[in-house]
Amino acid sequence: MGVCARSWFTSLWSQRCSAECGKGNRTRVAVCLMDHATDLPLDSCEGERPAEVASCDSGPCLNRLEWYTGPWGQCSAECGNGTQTRSLACIFNNNGRVEAVEPAKCSGLAQPVTARPCRLKPCGVQWYVTEWSACSRSCHGGFRVREVRCLTDAIVPSDQCDPDLIPESRQECNTQPKDSYCQHDQYHNCLVVVQARLCIYPYYRGVCCAACSRAQKTYPNSFQTNHIRR
């Protein structure tokens, strides 16, 4: 039958320019076909591959607001799953003269994504820990604990973690004497504990020692009265 003919075929150029104003691109697809039916690798046709991108101009950008995105940053994790972020700015474009303006002025425009997941090489086995428990005593030395597990990338228990790098699972806490002033509360909602007059209980005095100490110094009579009533 002789040598089979191979020819480049291209789709029609896209009708819309990629930019709504200013310079952008139009695209099309190039394929190599034999006998007008078989899709061959792109290097099977003779001659240069037809261009698939062409520049276009949608006219000057006049008094136009648009979002500008910076480059994606590094992945937040050293291995496994993480997140990439990028900066975002609202730009006022007037025929090539660009000025950054308040983000609120671009609120009517669709906002580009500023965070996306990223995945690096598998971490392998590594140590995982829970949050610390509350301290066992409010003063004179107590301890708090947390669970420590060795897990694989599939969150399956393993015994392959480095034992020299194991995080501690027990820690001393509240080593100050009973009458010393506490500097930090263990919970963020200790104001509610004070308002509910729960400071008379040892547990709440321990986890909210700073808030309870301030309340006792500010309203000593009220604290004593509430203590007697309870």
pLDDT at 163: 93
pLDDT at 228: 41
For residues 17 and 58, the answer to whether their CB atoms sit within 8 Å is yes
Q: Is 204 exposed, middle or buried (0-12, 13-18, 19+ CB in 10 A)?
A: buried
- Select the CATH number that applies to the domain covering 124-178 from these four: 2.20.100, 2.40.160, 2.50.20, 2.60.120: 2.20.100
Stated pTM of the model:
0.44
Distance between CA 113 and CA 18 in Å, rounded? 18
pLDDT at 181: 53
pLDDT at 167: 94
pLDDT at 1: 47
pLDDT at 4: 65
Give the residue ranges of the chain where pLDDT is below 50. Answer: 1, 42, 225-230
Domain ranges of the chain: 6-57, 64-119, 124-178, 181-230
pLDDT at 77: 87
Helices (H) and strands (E) in the chain, counts: 4, 14
Distance between CA 6 and CA 28 in Å, rounded? 19
